[in-house]
Amino acid sequence: MKHNKVLHERVLFVTVHTEDEPEVSRNRRVEVSELAPGIHRVILHYGFMESPDIPEALEMLAGRGVPVEPMQVSYFLGRDVLVPAMVPKMPRWRLLLFLFMARNALPATEFFRIPSDRVVELGARVAI
């Protein structure tokens, strides 16, 4: 709303929850609750051995009364950029190792199989 100056016709707040089991059956994959007309909370459940596929899971919403057109979806993602703090809160070697690993982590668009041309990223710099 702040950036686009519009409220979309359908808004989904999506949470991906990783369960303590290797796989989650398709009938337990999606939880939907309506917060207001046109605004839904969606919780997607995946097992720890599964790779989340958000667009595929959102297509399952049609059977629950929330039709989603995959080519009309815009994904808004949060992205934090980690930077060293002026006064480090951990030993330097650990900080450098952590920053190296964070930089090499798979981007959310790839991990969740979200088409990169449908994404708007909102970010912040976080000092650690």
* Domain extent listing, the chain: 1-73, 75-128
CA–CA separation, 123 and 126 (whole Å): 9
Q: Is 12 a residue whose pLDDT tops 90? A: yes
Q: How far is CA 56 from the centre of its chain?
A: 14
Specify the pLDDT at position 2: 66
pLDDT by residue (tens digit) across 99-119? 899 889 888 899 999 998 999
pLDDT by residue (tens digit) across 63-99? 888 888 888 899 999 888 888 888 878 888 998 898 8
Q: Which helix (H) or strand (E) holds 116?
A: none
Q: Is 45 a residue whose pLDDT tops 90? A: yes
Query: Is the separation of the CB atoms in 29 and 63 below 8 Å?
Result: no
Report CA Rg, the chain: 18
- Across the chain, where does the E strand assignment appear? 11-18, 30-36, 39-46, 75-83, 119-127
pTM for this model (two decimals): 0.81
pLDDT by residue (tens digit) across 17-42? 999 999 999 999 999 999 999 899 99
| CA angle, 15 then 41 then 81, to 5° | 35
Q: Largest Cα–Cα distance of the chain, in whole Å? A: 52
Query: Is the separation of the CB atoms in 14 and 44 below 8 Å?
Result: yes
Residue whose pair of structure tokens reads 């057109």 in the numeric block: 69
